[in-house]
Amino acid sequence: MECIFCNIATGKSEAEILFEDENVAAFLDIQPVNYGHTLVVPKKHYDNFLTVPKDELEKLINITQFIAGAVKRSMNADGFNVISNNGDSAGQTVYHFHFHIIPRFTTDFDFKPNFKTYGTGAMREYADQIRTFISKYRNIYDGG
């Protein structure tokens, strides 16, 4: 299937490339939340955060840190968001993994989620559900 970010990574489609090496490309988002909004992608195709191999992710996050600093300083931003949307419900529209770097300014806009409140004991229950998964699959993370 055609993938726009694969095409950008191989030079088949145009983009305003800011940085590239053999593994990673960074380019401007075509529909920026703020000017300078940047995407950082692995050149190889992985659908989402969970499917990027650890060694690739390490390179990607290191370059994302470097590019985030460059975007913040060159845009004279007050801060920035580094985010990744995973799945339709999270707003993912391109299924080639990427980090967004969004320069932020004190007066630009608010992300306003509807915050939830944990009822009595619920925090422990949610934590237990997640801990059960973590202990079951921890050997994968540990590399065992």
Active site residues: 98
d(CA 49, CA 98): 8
For ligand AMP, the closer of residues 51 and 129 by Cβ is 51
Taking the complex as a whole, the smallest distance from the CB of residue 52 to Zn ion amounts, in Å, to: 12
Residue type (1 letter), 75: M
Q: Tell me which residue of 86, 81, 104 sits closest to 96, measured CA to CA.
A: 86
For ligand AMP, the closer of residues 111 and 141 by Cβ is 111
For ligand AMP, the closer of residues 31 and 120 by Cβ is 31
Q: Which residues contact 47 (CB under 8 A, 6 or more apart)?
A: 95, 96, 97
Residue 83 interacts with Zn ion (CB under 5 A): yes or no = no
Bridge partners (DSSP) of residue 39 are: 27, 100
d(CA 28, CA 39): 6
> Which residue from 20, 29, 47, 56 is in contact with ligand AMP, where contact means CB under 6 A?
29
Taking the complex as a whole, the smallest distance from the CB of residue 1 to ligand AMP amounts, in Å, to: 15
Name the E strands within 1-144. 17-20, 24-28, 38-42, 79-83, 99-104
Residue 6 interacts with Zn ion (CB under 5 A): yes or no = yes
Region 62-91 residues binding ligand AMP, contact defined as CB under 6 A: 85, 91
Where on the chain is the footprint of Zn ion (CB under 5 A)? 3, 5-6, 45, 96
